[in-house]
C-alpha cells in the first residue's frame, strides 16, 4: 500500500569520535523514506529544499522508488542545515549549527497523486505543519505515525497536544515520554499518553531497545548489541521509516504486526549507525536485512517449558 | 542439586519516596538464598551476624528450607548495617550509614556438610573472601557465579582479577562492565571480560533488562515494565539467587538453560521491588512465579514469518 512521508530533506555536517563529514544529505524524511522503501514500493515524500540541493540526490531517491513529486525546490533559497558533534559515549551531542532556511515557512503541499496514501509518517517537524498535512488529505489514512521531540513539548505544547488527538502511533524516546506525561514510570507514562489521542505508543530507548504499548499490551523489543556505533544520526527516523514501511507492506493494523514492524525498524536502524549519514541505508540487500532480523530472533528467543 | 550461597546477612534501613523502614533484615545472601529456595530445596548459607540478629529470622530462613549451619553468630558483636536513601528516580541512592561490624574480619568457614555443594553463588563481598570460599571447597563446584561491584574494582582490583580467573559466571551492571573493561561498547566490554576468566557474563541493566554473553552468543532479556518500583534494594541479589537456583534445579550448565535462568531471576527480582526489603520474596506462591514468567514470555515474543 502507498505511504506518504513528511519531514525534512536537508544537509547535515556530522562529527563523531570516528571522523567528520562535510555537508551530506540527511533529514528525517530522507532516512525514513529510504528505510520504508525496502518494504514498500510506493513511498512518496512531502518536503522542501533550496536550489542548493543536488539534482543527483533527488534522482538517487527516485532510483530507490521514492516519489519526489511533493519535494518542493525553492529557487534562490537554501536547504535546511544542521551541524552536530557527538560526545565520546555517542549518546549525547552538541548542536553546532541549525539553519532553518527553507524550513522557516514550509507549507506542505500535497500533490493530487498522493491523495490515495493509506499510510502516513509524520517525521519530526512543527506539530502545526504535521497537523496541516493530516487536514489536507481528503481521506484519513489507515495509519498515522508521528514522531516528535522534547523541543516541541517546550515551545509548542498546545499544538502538539492538538495533533496528538489526530494520530494513531506516537514514537518518542524515554525522556520525552517522561516529560510529556509528567510520570517517571514508563508504564504510567504510557497509560497517560494513550489517553491523549494515540492508540499506540512506541518508546525508543536507543541501545536498550524499544517498548510498544497499546491494546492493553506491552511488547519489549531488544536492540542489537553493537561493537561500534559509528554515527547515530538518523537512527530514530530510520526506525520509524522501517516500522511504517513494514506496516504498509502487510497492510493490516494490529499489535502483532506492529511487533514485527518494530523488529524490522530496529534492524534497519542497526544498519544505519554503521556508517556516516544515509550511506549504509542506500545499499542494503534484502538478504542482509533478513539475516539481521534473524539476529534479533536469536538474540531474544527463549523457551520456558 | 545443592547450592552454597555466600554473602551478607545484615540489617538495612531503607528510605524511598514511598516510605521508610527501621532496621529490617537484608543482605545479599538473604535475598539470594530466599530467591534460590523457590527452585532448589538444598540451599546452604555461609555468612556472619552478631548476637543482635533475631533467632526468629534465622528460623524463618530455615522454614524456607535454607540451611544456616554455616551462619556464624558472633557473641558480643553487631551485625552488618547499611542505611540508604533512594532518590525520586529510584535509580540512584545515597548511602547514609555503612557499619561493617562483624563483617570487618569475616572468615568464611565451610561446614563439612556443605562440601557436597555443586553450585556456588558468591554474593558481593571482598574478592579475597570470595576466593577463600572457593579454595576451601574440596571439590570444585560445577558452576560458580560471582557478583561484585565497582567498589572492589576501585580498591581491590588485583584480588578481583585473581578471583575472576576461578569462576564461571560474572554478574555486574553496565557501568561496572565498562569500568572493568575500559570499553564503552558493551559488546567489546564483554569480549574483554570473557578473556579475564569467566566463561559467561551477565550484564544487569535494571529497568532495561539483562544481557548474557558466552559460547559466542548473546541473549537479551527484557525487564518487566513496572508501574511502580517500591524499593529496589536486593533486586540484583534476588536476580542472581533466582538465576543460580534455577540452574541448580535443572542441573545442566549451558547457554539455553542460562537464558531461562535469567528470565526466572528477572521474574523474582520484579517481585522483590514491589515491597520493602525481603517481604514479597518470603511469601510467593509457585503459581505466582509461573504467571510472572509467562508475562516475560508475552512481553518479548514475536514471530517473523
Q: Which CATH number is B3-299's, of 3.20.190.10, 2.60.40.1930, 3.40.1190.20, 3.90.870.10? A: 3.40.1190.20
Spatial contact of A116 and A2, defined as CB atoms under 8 Å apart: yes
* DSSP 8-state code for residue A38: T
pLDDT tens-digit series, residues B8-29: 999 999 999 888 999 999 999 9
pLDDT tens-digit series, residues B203-235: 999 999 999 999 999 999 999 999 989 999 999
Mean pLDDT of chain B: 96
For the domain made up of A3-300, give the CATH fold: 3.40.1190
Q: What percent of chain A has pLDDT over 70?
A: 100
Strand pairing report for A93-99 and A81-86: antiparallel
A241: enclosing H helix or E strand: helix A235-250
Q: What percent of chain B has pLDDT over 70?
A: 100
As a whole number of angstroms, the longest Cα–Cα distance in chain B is 67
* Cβ-based interface (< 8 Å): residues of A facing B: 88-90, 184-188, 205, 207-209, 211, 217-223, 225-229, 256, 259-260, 263, 293-294, 297-300, 302-304
pLDDT tens-digit series, residues B92-122: 899 999 999 999 999 999 999 999 999 999 9
Using a CB-CB cut-off of 8 Å, the residues of chain A touching B219 are 299-300, 302
Cα angle, residue B49 at apex, residues B43 and B52 outer, rounded to 5°: 130
- Optimal mutation site among B224, B228, B297, B302, interface A, most CBs of chain A within 10 A: B302
Q: Inform me whether the pLDDT recorded for A77 exceeds 90.
A: yes
Lowest mean pLDDT among A21-35, B88-102, B177-191: B88-102
Confidence of residue A296 (pLDDT cuts 50, 70, 90): very high
- Optimal mutation site among B208, B220, B228, interface A, most CBs of chain A within 10 A: B220
Confidence of residue A92 (pLDDT cuts 50, 70, 90): confident
pLDDT tens-digit series, residues A271-288: 999 999 999 999 999 999
User: ipTM of the assembly?
Assistant: 0.93
pLDDT tens-digit series, residues B47-69: 999 999 999 999 999 999 999 99
Amino acid at each position: 500500500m502507498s505511504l506518504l512521508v513528511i519531514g525534512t530533506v536537508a544537509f547535515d555536517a556530522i562529527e563523531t569520535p570516528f571522523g567528520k563529514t562535510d555537508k551530506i544529505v540527511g533529514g528525517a524524511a530522507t532516512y525514513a523514506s529510504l528505510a520504508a522503501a525496502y518494504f514498500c514500493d510506493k513511498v512518496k515524500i512531502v518536503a522542501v529544499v533550496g536550489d542548493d540541493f543536488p539534482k543527483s540526490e533527488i534522482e538517487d531517491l527516485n532510483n530507490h522508488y521514492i516519489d519526489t513529486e511533493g519535494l518542493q525546490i525553492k529557487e534562490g533559497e537554501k536547504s535546511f542545515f544542521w551541524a552536530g558533534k557527538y560526545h565520546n559515549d555517542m549518546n549525547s551531542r552538541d548542536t553546532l549549527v541549525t539553519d532553518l532556511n527553507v524550513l522557516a515557512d514550509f507549507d506542505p503541499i500535497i500533490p493530487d497523486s498522493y491523495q490515495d496514501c493509506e499510510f502516513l509518517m509524520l517525521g519530526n517537524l512543527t506539530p502545526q505543519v504535521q497537523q496541516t498535512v493530516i487536514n489536507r488529505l481528503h481521506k484519513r489514512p489507515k495509519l498515522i505515525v508521528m514522531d516528535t521531540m522534547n523541543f516541541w513539548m517546550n515551545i509548542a505544547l498546545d499544538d502538539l497536544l492538538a495533533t496528538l488527538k489526530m494520530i494513531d502511533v506516537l514514537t518518542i524516546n524515554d525522556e520525552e515520554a517522561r516529560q510529556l506525561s509528567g510520570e517517571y514510570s514508563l508504564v504510567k507514562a504510557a497509560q497517560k499518553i494513550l489517553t491523549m489521542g494515540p492508540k499506540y505508543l512506541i518508546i525508543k530507548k536507543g541501545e536498550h531497545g524499544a517498548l510498544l504499548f497499546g491494546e492493553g499490551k506491552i511488547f519489549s523489543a531488544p536492540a542489537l548489541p553493537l561493537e561500534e556505533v559509528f554515527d547515530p544520526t538518523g537512527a530514530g527516523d530510520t526506525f520509524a521509516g522501517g516500522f511504517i514501511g513494514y506496516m504498509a507492506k502487510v497492510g493490516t493494523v494490529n499489535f502483532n504486526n506492529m511487533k514485527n514492524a518494530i523488529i524490522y525498524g530496529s534492524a534497519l536502524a542497526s544498519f544505519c549507525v554503521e556508517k556516516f549519514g544515509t550511506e549504509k541505508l542506500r545499499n542494503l540487500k534484502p538478504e542482509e536485512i533478513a539475516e539481521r532480523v534473524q539476529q534479533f530472533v536469536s538474540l531474544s528467543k527463549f523457551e520456558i517449558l
